[in-house]
């Protein structure tokens, strides 16, 4: 208040500050997304899909709902790289990721864990249903169009599937899924094998 009785107010335009705050928030969100994403396929990367597995295991223990994990390997992938080159291999990986996104049920999570290997998390399902869902993804899986735009390459995959048990942690469920994947490959590929508790 001024001596003459007038009230003086000072206004400040904070639009620029709010804009900077929004830009910083967007940059942070973009950096977080980039740290969790496999650049080639756009899927969760190894670190993030493992975090999602840990969260899903904890939720499954708490609620008693089903959880299944599958390790998936694209069949004969080395032959694609050796025959057509690494650009073709990258195209197959991108095609595989996109085709799976279109075919997997809502709520499932697929991440790339390295090379041509992927981890699939299926929540609120039991083993038989998870097995059927993988078969449905595999059935009629579309061929990949390679970078020359003339070559169509069939894409098949093997999978090892395990259902979460009450005592499971990341290591134990992945061990069973991995053993089952090796069995699927040994039996001729392009199939799903189930890893049971006794396979450890």
Distance separating alpha carbons of residues 122 and 113, to the nearest angstrom: 16
Task: Tell me if 180 sits within 8 A of 162, measured CB to CB.
Answer: yes
Please classify residue 5 by burial: count the beta carbons closer than 10 Å to its beta carbon, then call 0-12 exposed, 13-18 middle and 19+ buried. Answer: exposed
Other CB atoms within a 10 A radius of the CB of residue 61 amount to 15
29: annotated active-site residue: no
Helix and strand numbers (H, E) in the chain are: 6, 7
List 29, 116, 117, 197, catalytic entry: 116
Place of tokens 């995959």: 157
- Which residues form the catalytic set? 116
């Amino acid at each position: 208040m001024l001596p003459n009785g007038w009230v003086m107010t000072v206004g400040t335009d904070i639009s620029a500050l709010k804009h900077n705050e929004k830009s910083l928030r967007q940059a942070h969100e973009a950096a977080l997304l980039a740290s969790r994403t496999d650049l080639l396929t756009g899927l969760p990367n190894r670190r993030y899909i493992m975090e999602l597995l840990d969260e899903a295991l904890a939720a499954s223990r708490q609620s008693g709902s089903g959880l299944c994990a599958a390790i998936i390997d694209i069949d004969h992938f080395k032959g694609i790289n050796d025959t057509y080159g690494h650009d073709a291999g990258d195209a197959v990986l991108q095609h595989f990721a996109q085709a799976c996104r279109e075919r997997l049920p809502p709520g499932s999570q697929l991440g790339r864990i390295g090379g041509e290997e992927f981890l699939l998390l299926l929540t609120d399902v039991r083993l038989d249903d998870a097995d059927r869902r993988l078969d449905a993804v595999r059935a009629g899986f579309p061929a990949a169009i390679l970078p020359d735009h003339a070559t169509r390459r069939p894409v098949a995959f093997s999978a090892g599937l395990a259902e979460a048990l009450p005592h499971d942690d990341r290591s134990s469920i992945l061990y069973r899924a991995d053993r089952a994947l090796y069995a699927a490959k040994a039996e001729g590929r392009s199939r799903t094998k189930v890893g049971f508790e006794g396979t450890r």
